Amino acid sequence: MTEPMFAELTRPADVRPSGRKLSVRVAGIPIPQGSMRGFVRGGHAVLTSDNPRLRSWRNDLAAALFAAREGLPMTGAVVLKVWFWLPRPASHYGRHGLLPSAPARPIGARDDLDKLVRAIGDAATVAGVWRDDGQVVDCHSSKNWAVPEWGPGVLIKIAEMASPKVGP
């Protein structure tokens, strides 16, 4: 039976996971890893995130990924799938519930999808899931409104791809 994570992939090289994979859900409000700020302190250059809440979020991600990983870091090509659930703003609700004008999916620059994924990649590197986020050769991500049963958070699925066969 084909793993659902790979069901929609059609290229033969993409449907051969090596068997090393993990899946983890992390509760909390996803924080985008945006631009860095640089300054000099004591004669040394220091880089820091422009979002002070990012450190806590990345620590939560790294701890969950570390607990879910098995053995040594993945060394081959990696497929990353990420689903974000963001809290719906109070302005989307009226006296009678959800407003008809409220968007069905989170849109806008506030929670930029690629910046949300960037935090996942760096946390997975820190957790030792892989050696470097440059190993990701296929990435699928989406952002949705959180549902009351689950609340905000992220579901992360990572699978290492099998090395292609060389020769006959």
Radius of gyration of the chain (CA): 18
Distance CA 13, CA 34 (A): 33
pLDDT at residue 85, as a whole number: 95
pTM above 0.85, yes or no: no
Q: Are 119 and 56 in contact (CB under 8 A)?
A: no
- Indicate if the pLDDT at residue 15 is higher than 70: no
Residue bearing the bigger pLDDT, 44 or 161: 161
C-alpha span between 69 and 21 (Å, rounded): 8
Mean pLDDT along residues 28-37: 80
Q: Which helix (H) or strand (E) holds 26?
A: strand 17-27
CA distances from 15 to 12, 18, 25, 164 (A): 6, 10, 23, 11
**pLDDT of res. 20:** 87
Q: What is the pLDDT of residue 67?
A: 94
**What mean pLDDT comes out for the span 32-48?**
70
CA–CA gap between residue 99 and residue 37 (Å, rounded): 38
Q: Each residue of 58-112: pLDDT tens digit?
A: 999 999 999 999 888 999 999 999 999 999 989 899 999 989 998 888 987 677 8
